[in-house]
Amino acid sequence: MARHRRYVSRGGRRETGKLVLLVVLLLVLVAAATLVAAVLGGGSGLAWISVLASLLGAALLFADRIRTRRGGEEIAAARRLGAEPGEERSNAAEAADPDAGVVVVDERPRYHVRTCEWLGEAETLPLELGEARELGFTPCARCAPNATIAAESGRSR
């Protein structure tokens, strides 16, 4: 169960990016101030400090870009999906088998049946219905997984 918790939200990625930008801004200010001091005072040591601060800022931006690109495919797939469908409103939740299989999309709040049209070509993660609910996912209004699973379990009886 705990292995799927990371799929609920990755808000920390956004916070880390803001921190990197603030550090780079500080480095740019240090570089500018030391460059002005080097020009006014004529010291080459201050000019080198300015160059080093600039290079460090560029390296941080490059490293952050590489880090965020690794999750870029998942984010691009989520953007292609468009607006999130609403939440299913039915009384079939209790009748649906909690061991039935559903799928979720990383960083999206809904769980779906495998055949949901909204999913398209998105990369999905399989979960059991009960586990998806425990992790905080809610049912998709478009594919109505609770009603669909309840109807399938009713047919198999």
Burial class of 53 by CB neighbour count within 10 A (0 to 12, 13 to 18, 19+)? buried
Taking the chain (157 residues) in runs of 10, the rounded mean pLDDT of each run is 41 67 91 91 86 92 79 55 79 83 92 91 91 93 91 68
Assess whether 52 and 93 both reside in one domain.
Answer: no
The count of domains in the chain is: 2
Task: Determine, yes or no, domain membership for 75.
Answer: no
Whether residues 97 and 61 share a domain: the answer is no
| CA proximity to 100, closest of 144, 143, 150 | 150
The reply to whether 117 and 54 lie within a common domain is no
Domain enclosing residue 43, as ranges: 2-70
